């Protein structure tokens, strides 16, 4: 069943424009500079809420990606689809410098030809999906209705991981919930820590912002 869903997304629901779009949205290197500028802008011009949201996202993603995803990948060791199935479409952007030039070239598409001894065992969970759903959850907590909008690009990234042949559908589905769960747990912890430490370390700021997340009540 899962293989059928994979091939439906990866091999049938495809076209050249979608190949380029999915390859672009899933390529983190393409988004490094825009994301860096967004983070910098929030830290400088975002006020307390912007800075708190950015720092929270960075901490949550570090925990989710660096600790949870890394540990689960090592523990479970699930091969990626293209490592064990033939004819999985592996869709990637061309290697260019600067990276943005790859958007004006046709993406690289190759059909998988699995070989023994080449399995990385890094399919579960999808760190791309977890990271983006962590960020979406934090943004929704800090910015409410505007923040919820980030679940749209987060969902596109999740879908792209199946489309490009990088992950199984179940990897992505479970990773969505993992990302949301990790973010919620971390936000509760961050709020508690802020309530305890902020009045001692930053009394002036704590007076103006008794809660890290607006709308939270004691």
Write down the pLDDT at residue 8.
97
Write down the pLDDT at residue 211.
94
**pLDDT > 70: what percent of the chain?**
97
Vertex 37: Cα angle to 32 and 43 (nearest 5): 125
Write down the pLDDT at residue 1.
86
- In angstroms and rounded to an integer, the radius of gyration of the C-alpha atoms of the chain is 20
Write down the pLDDT at residue 119.
72
Which residue stretches of 62-168 are H helix?
70-76, 81-84, 127-143, 145-148, 151-163
**DSSP secondary-structure letter at 151?**
H
Write down the pLDDT at residue 60.
98
Residue pair 49/142 in contact (Cβ under 8 Å)? The answer is yes
- Residue ranges of domains in the chain: 2-208
Name which CATH class applies to 2-208: mainly alpha
What is the pTM assigned to this prediction?
0.93
Strand, helix or coil at 6?
helix
Find the mean pLDDT for residues 23-48. Answer: 95
């Amino acid at each position: 069943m899962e293989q059928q869903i994979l091939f439906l997304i990866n091999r049938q629901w495809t076209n050249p424009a979608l190949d380029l779009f999915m390859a672009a949205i899933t390529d983190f290197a393409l988004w490094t500079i825009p994301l860096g500028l967004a983070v910098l802008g929030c830290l400088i011009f975002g006020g307390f809420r912007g800075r708190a949201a950015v720092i929270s996202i960075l901490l949550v993603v570090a925990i989710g990606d660096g600790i949870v995803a890394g540990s689960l990948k090592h523990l479970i060791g699930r091969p990626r689809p293209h490592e064990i199935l033939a004819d999985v479409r592996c869709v990637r952007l061309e290697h260019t410098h600067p990276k943005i030039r790859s958007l004006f070239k046709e993406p690289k598409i190759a059909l998988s030809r699995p070989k023994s001894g080449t399995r990385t065992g890094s399919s579960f969970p999808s760190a791309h999906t977890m990271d983006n759903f962590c960020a979406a959850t934090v943004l929704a907590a800090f910015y409410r209705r505007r923040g919820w909008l980030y679940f749209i690009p987060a969902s596109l990234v999740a879908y792209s991981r199946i489309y490009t042949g990088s992950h199984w559908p179940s990897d992505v589905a479970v990773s969505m919930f993992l990302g949301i769960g990790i973010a919620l747990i971390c936000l509760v912890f961050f709020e508690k820590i802020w309530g305890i430490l902020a009045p001692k370390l930053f009394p002036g700021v704590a007076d103006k912002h008794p809660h890290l997340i607006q709308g939270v009540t004691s």
